[in-house]
Amino acid sequence: MKACGFEDRRPEPFEVTLSASVRQRAMEAVHEVADRLRSPARVKELATAPGNVNPVFNTHPWEGVSLSHGYPGVALLFAELDRLEPEVGWDAAAHEHLAACGPILAAGDTGLPSLFNGVCAVAFAALISSRGRSRYGRLLDRLDALVAERTEQIIHKERVRSKVQTGALASAYDVVSGLSGTGRYLLLASDRPGNHETLLKVLSYLVYLAESVEVGGREVPGWYLPAENQFLRQDRELYPAGNFNCGMAHGIAGPVALLSLASLEGVEVPGQAEAARRMAGWLLGCRRKDDYGYYWPDRVRLEEEIGGVSAGPHIRREAWCYGTPGVARALWLAGRALEDPELREAALEGMASVFRRPPANRNLDGPNFCHGTSGLLRISHRFIQDSQDLEASRLLEGLTEQALREFDPDSAFGFKDKVPTEKGQHGLDSASLLEGAAGVALSLLSVAREGPQRQWDTAFLIA
């Protein structure tokens, strides 16, 4: 089955071909970013500089024990460099960033109980930095115990809440804030004591999430988000009857990905396949079509779900967090886990549609991973490695060059986050994995240097 350059084949080792000049420029950018991120103290100083404030949220782009915006995320870049260049001493830089988390955790500031913030974030970074699990064993023992305790607390709290309030909390189930992200760490570290048992509890909760709930006398999917459970006030106003989130970062694509990844590794609980099939089937039904092909909206209104009719234009990106790339990757994984060619074909056609769409119409903000070029680059890289299609692999050259054009030698870390405002894009010096230089560098490094299977991007549930 083929969809405009992407072909569904059995995954085997496949080397993506970049021109020598682009590969060299990518590696030069990666090393420049790494040099600027070496010192944890300097990174924090620059990220929290008085003028370096997000104009939308009035915050600095820094949270110490955050995988998304802190030391653990930066450590991942050095861990990956150490894996590829073990003689250079990048492991020492990774260790310094992990060590910087210690005083914060000791002070009781353990962040949110999720993969992207707090003890699970540090555990993930330590595991990736452990040189094949030969280091950080005692640290991981302590962190894993805390992850298990907090995960069970969240599941219990959600079970209780769901008895008195209809609908779900995205912050309980999603990748960035909730159990899908935590579950991915537990799956990656499932051979460590206790983690397998905790993972099974997470999977069972996601199976529970797939059960229908009644809203206004109608049965709807259990991941329905009422207005009061929206993240932002503007979303509560925009969706007064509630909605269903399609995205990978905060929507149902995250649970689809985790359930599928667990099945692919032989980890299953009763009802898991049925839950994944129902969630994936719902996403397939949310697909829309335009002049370039298929795409996924960021959210579906309750009125649309009940009425079965589109309510008009939808906000969308071609990004990891929201839009076709993230959703397509979740459906691809589900198609493999469920042995469903229709899901795999829909994923491939979705990605082909992304590349038919002109870059100016992809609604990406700068080079970052979350909603920028490097996230699309890494997801495309994963798809092309799976499809083993040389023609499609040429698409990566253009995306890599697009990311490299964003390199700014006058910025603090080499790449700036571009925050959209009413006055245009606002450049922000962010070192982070999710929205900053570390995430951009990791995507560039992965496409420029082929090597053994990578694990850093498992945090994004694309693998």
Binding site for Zn(2+), residues? 321, 370-371
Phi-psi region of 242 (alpha: psi -120 to 50; beta: other; left: phi over 0): left
Judge contact between 70 and 100, C-beta under 8 A: no
Binding residues: 321, 370-371
Coil, strand or helix: which one is 20?
A: helix
Write the CA distances from 119 to 98, 335, 434, 456, integer angstroms.
Answer: 11, 32, 17, 17
Write the CA distances from 98 to 93, 114, 127, 195, 312, integer angstroms.
Answer: 9, 17, 11, 21, 47
Coil, strand or helix: which one is 142?
A: helix
How many CB atoms are located within 10 Å of the residue 146 CB?
17
Residue 254 and residue 350: Cα distance in Å, rounded?
A: 17
Judge contact between 23 and 448, C-beta under 8 A: yes
Helical H segments across 107-228, by residue range: 119-128, 137-161, 170-173, 179-188, 195-209
| CA 424 from centre of chain | 26
Residue 10 and residue 436: Cα distance in Å, rounded?
A: 34
Q: Buried (b) or exposed (e) across 64-94, using 16+ Cβ within 10 A?
A: bbbbbbbbbbbbbbbbbbbbbeeeeebbebb
Q: How far apart are the first and last CA of the chain?
A: 21
Residue 189 and residue 199: Cα distance in Å, rounded?
A: 10
Residue 341 and residue 193: Cα distance in Å, rounded?
A: 36
Residue 331 and residue 340: Cα distance in Å, rounded?
A: 10
Say which residues have a Cβ less than 8 Å from residue 132's Cβ, sequence separation at least 6: none
